[in-house]
Amino acid sequence: MTSQPNLARFNRIVVKVGSSLLVDPAKGALRQDWLDALADDLAALHRRGADVLVVSSGAIALGRTIAGLPKGALKLEDSQAAAAIGQIALARAWAQALAARGVTAGQILVTLQDTEERRRYLNARATIARLLAMRAVPVINENDTVATSEIRYGDNDRLAARVAAMASADLLILLSDIDGLYDAPPNLDPKARLIPVVERITPEIEAMAGGAASELSRGGMRTKIEAAHIAVNAGVHMTIADGRVKNPIQRIAGGGRATWFLTPSNPVAARKIWIAGSLELKGAVYCDAGAVKALRGGKSLLPAGVVKIEGSFSRGDCVAIRDADGFEVGRGLIAYDSLHAEQIKGRNSRDIADILGMPGRAEMIHRDDMALRETGAD
Ligand code: GLU
């Protein structure tokens, strides 16, 4: 059987922290010692050069205590108000815990649309990339204050998987109140066995997670398996590990009990496959020979190399990249809508702000947002 991978091989890691770990369920208060120990673990990953992202729940749990709301289910408006109050406290706790270890935190609150709508997806992805380049740790939660039940994730497991895909992370760690996936409910069946490695999410594995997701099973094993689907399809490995211990990441590094979901792919390849195959083309950009050569050399497509724009598209849409004769060189997610692309084509990136009257990205299509066709030659 395949063994569990070594934590040291991962370079961009998303750590998802559940409410019940961070906030004492009985007292409704932050578990500061636990957070400090986790921050030690995260700072250690950061020091060895890994990019670290945190998806943290806990806004509603903290906010309801601060606001003095009763225990039990909350009405939507109350949970939104609790999230508004609690998110400030949550962000402060993270910023302070990380700052005490020399690490800068940056808060990102996302909605479902930010991860699903192409234009907003590109924006969120660019901000995350910038924060990581600055060596900051993005601390991410759903923007529960404005998301209503129909258009929200509701659970941070799937949100964390989408963030991991969006950030091209190579590992997602779901810290949970259980140490992994069992072949039977461990609380009911003493013979239940932990599955250490899942190489493929088969119907059998699905069945182990229990029934369909519901309000009650929010954050349960079901949403974790859904998260695993999202992660492995995006080329991200995922692990479900026990977060109840102190220094849970150290424990994973030491080969502690956990369930690993492995992906045969990697984030860059998975993204390129997605771009190459699964999107509808909204238009085309035609490039000169110099630009085609640069693309094949691994560069981004700059406006200067574009000779013609075809079609009507929005920022984030998928377009064909063609050479001057019309042969498709590849496909990519374009950083400008067609009107703006038309205005800046053939121009130097330095002039973009003057031409459009607003700042824009130097690349018409960034190399990470592009999948080139094989040429057969090398
Ligand atoms: N976003 C919610 C919060 O911060 C939590 C969602 C979840 O528990 O997965 O309170």
Q: What is the DSSP string of 232-274?
A: HHTT-EEEEEE-SSSSHHHHHHTT-SEEEE--SS-HHHHHHHH
In the reported structure, the alpha carbon of residue 231 is separated from the centroid of ligand 1 by a whole-number distance in angstroms of 19
pLDDT of 353 above 80: yes
Q: In this structure, are 243 and 338 located in the same domain?
A: no
Distance 311 CA to ligand 1 centre (A): 41
Domain count, the chain: 2
How far is residue 90 from each of residues 77, 85, 219, measured CA to CA in Å?
19, 9, 19
- Give the per-residue pLDDT at 278: 57
**Predicted confidence band of residue 24 (pLDDT cuts 50, 70, 90):** very high
> Do residues 13 and 126 share a domain?
yes
Q: Share the mean pLDDT of the chain.
A: 90
Cα dihedral sign for 246, 248, 250, 251?
positive
From 254, 271, 288, give the residue that closes a domain.
271
Ligand 1 neighbour 144 (Cβ under 6 A): yes
Q: Quick check: is 94 in a domain? A: yes
Q: State the pLDDT confidence band at 217, using cuts at 50, 70 and 90.
A: very low
Task: Give the contacts of 197 (CB within 8 A, at least 6 positions apart).
Answer: 1, 2, 3, 4, 259, 260, 262
219 lines ligand 1 (CB under 6 A): yes
What's the token pair of residue 202? 């088969």
Does residue 50 sit in the same domain as residue 163?
Answer: yes
Residue-level length of the chain: 378
Helix (H) or strand (E) holding 44: helix 32-47
Max Cα-Cα span within the chain: 69
Q: Are residues 218 and 329 in the same domain?
A: no
Q: How far apart are the first and last CA of the chain?
A: 37
- The CATH number linked to 194 is 3.40.1160.10
Task: For residues 236 and 319, give the distance between their C-alpha atoms in angstroms, rounded to a whole number.
Answer: 26
Residue 111, Cβ density class (10 Å: 0-12 exposed, 13-18 middle, ≥19 buried): buried
Q: Would you say the CB of residue 21 lies under 6 angstroms from ligand 1? A: no
Task: Write the CA distances from 347 to 309, 339, 340, integer angstroms.
Answer: 13, 14, 12
* 91 lies in the same domain as 233: yes
Please, which pLDDT band fits residue 375 given cuts at 50, 70 and 90? confident
Instruction: Please state, in angstroms and rounded to a whole number, the distance separating the CA atoms of residues 326 and 310.
Output: 11
Q: Is 73 left (phi over 0), alpha (psi -120 to 50) or beta?
A: beta
* Banded model confidence at residue 215, pLDDT cuts 50, 70, 90: very low
Q: Which pLDDT score is estimated for 21?
A: 93
Residue 1 lies in a domain: no
Strand 137-142 relative to strand 51-56, pairing: parallel
pLDDT on residue 269: 84
**Which pLDDT score, from 0 to 100, does residue 219 have?**
53
Determine if ligand 1 sits within 6 Å of the CB of residue 19: yes
**216 pLDDT above the threshold of 50:** no
* Residue 79 beta carbon below 6 angstroms from any ligand 1 atom: no
Spatial contact of 292 and 322, defined as CB atoms under 8 Å apart? no
Query: Per residue in 237-271, pLDDT tens?
Result: 999 999 999 999 999 999 999 999 999 888 888 88
Which ligand 1 atom sits closest to the C-alpha of 223? 9
Ligand 1: nearest atom to the Cα of 56: 4
Give the residue, by CA position, lying nearest to ligand 1 atom 2. 57
Tokens of 265: 């792919």
Domain stops at, among 248, 271, 294: 271
For residues 82 and 195, state if they share a domain: yes
Confirm if 255 and 249 have CB atoms less than 8 A apart: no
pLDDT at 129 over 90: yes
Q: What is the reported pLDDT for 132?
A: 97
Span 190-214, pLDDT tens digits: 898 999 999 999 988 988 887 543 3
Residues 362 and 326 in one domain: yes
pLDDT at 150 over 60: yes
Under 8 Å between Cβ of 13 and 173? yes
> Does any ligand 1 atom lie closer than 6 A to the CB of residue 59?
yes
> pLDDT tens across 31-87, in order?
999 999 999 999 999 999 999 999 999 999 999 999 999 888 889 899 999 999 999
Ligand 1 pocket test: which of 79, 110, 155 has the largest number of ligand atoms within 8 Å of its C-beta? 155
Note down the domain range covering 95: 7-271
The answer as to whether 283 is a domain residue is yes
Task: State which of 271, 289, 313 marks the end of a domain.
Answer: 271
Average pLDDT over residues 115-139: 89
Q: Which atom of ligand 1 is nearest to the CA of 18?
A: 8
Residue 153 lies in a domain: yes
**What is the percentage of the chain residues whose pLDDT exceeds 90?**
70
Quote the strand ranges of the chain, DSSP E. Answer: 12-17, 51-56, 105-110, 137-142, 171-176, 197-198, 237-242, 258-261, 281-287, 306-311, 318-323, 328-333, 370-372
Q: Work out the pLDDT band at 147, boundaries 50, 70, 90.
A: confident
Query: What pLDDT does residue 25 have?
Result: 87
Q: Which ligand 1 atom sits closest to the C-alpha of 156?
A: 9
> Residue 2 domain-assigned?
no
Give the residue, out of 62, 141, 151, 159, with the most ligand 1 atoms within 8 A of its beta carbon, to mutate for a pocket test: 141
